[in-house]
Amino acid sequence: MEDLDLGRLADIPDPFAEGSEKAPRSLAKRPAAPSASRAHVRGIRVMAIAIAVLSEAAWLVLVEHRNDLGALSPSGVLLGVGVPFAAAAVALAAAARRGPLGLGEPASRLAALLGLSVTVFVVGSLFATPQEYDAGPFWPHTLRCMAVTAALAAAPLALGVWSFRHAFVTATTWRSTGLGVAAGALAAATMSLACSTDSVLHVIVGHGAMMLVGGAVGAALGRATRA
């Protein structure tokens, strides 16, 4: 390929120059249903985040929380919750960032940010979780935790897709993947207060795998978030 001097593009005449910008016909159907204004959309998103966090808290209060919660050091609890929360924040910020023109980040940067989110969780868990070997059977307990994490991620993901419906104009699949990763990470944060197994492998696989599954589900729901 010759050097990419895009000034040469001017060689090509515009076959649609004649009448390309003539006024199109009037709208066949006017927008019938009212759509949400900017303030309304912001309110919906704040409400969605609040409901998502409250639903996680409700699970801890009403369904289960770890028995040794009172015996844990405050810094240990903060770290256990903080690492997945940070991963969720990175993923959510990636999905919701406005970008230079208000169109969001390009797909390559979104992929990098979502990779960073997962890395934050894995590396943070390595440091935040005691490096002890879980003496019990690994898979039965881990599979149960994966199922619980999936249940915990469902509501935040549904709220995320709902509050961002018709919102993403570019890189839609990657941005809705970000919503799914954020929902999975939020569920992992809740699990750090619900599951008393501190094995690092259990935390990464049993609690963190839902970030990947959530991301895949988010990607599959991308059409709903596309403008």
Partner 1 sequence: MWVPIGESFPYLAATFPMAEPIRKAPLRAAVGDPPARSIGGPSGPLDAAMDRYARGDDAAFDELYRTGAPRLRGFLLRLCGDPALADDLTQDAFLRVHRARGSFESGAAALPWFFAIARNAFLDHKRREATRRSLAGDERSAGPGSQAEAAPDTRGDLALAASETLDVVRATLQEMTVLQREAFVLIRFEGLSVSDAAQVLGATEAAVKIRAFRAYEALRAALQRQNKGER
Distance of CA 218 to the CA centre of its chain: 8
Instruction: Choose among 191, 164, 185, 182: nearest CA to 48.
Output: 164
Distance of CA 164 to the CA centre of its chain: 11
What counts of helices (H) and strands (E) characterise the chain? 8, 0
Q: Considering only residues 57, 58, 69, 227, which one is a binding residue for partner 1 as defined by CB under 8 A?
A: 227
Cross-strand partners of 168: 226
Q: Considering only residues 52, 152, 167, 203, which one is a binding residue for partner 1 as defined by CB under 8 A?
A: 167
One character per residue 41-70, x = contact with partner 1 (rule: CB under 8 A): xx----------------------------
When the beta carbons of 22 and 135 are compared against partner 1, the nearer one is 22
What gap in Å lies between CA 98 and CA 76, rounded to an integer?
Answer: 34
Both tokens assigned to 99: 């970008």
Q: Considering only residues 51, 60, 79, 99, which one is a binding residue for partner 1 as defined by CB under 8 A?
A: 99
Q: Is 107 in the site for partner 1 (CB under 8 A)?
A: yes
One character per residue 2-31, x = contact with partner 1 (rule: CB under 8 A): x-xxxxxxxxxxxxxxxxxxxxxx-xxx-x
Q: How many CA atoms lie within 13 A of 89 on its CB side?
A: 7
Minimum CB–partner distance for residue 49 and partner 1 (Å): 16
When the beta carbons of 6 and 62 are compared against partner 1, the nearer one is 6
Site for partner 1, rule CB under 8 A: 1-2, 4-25, 27-29, 31, 34-42, 98-104, 106-108, 164, 166-172, 226-227
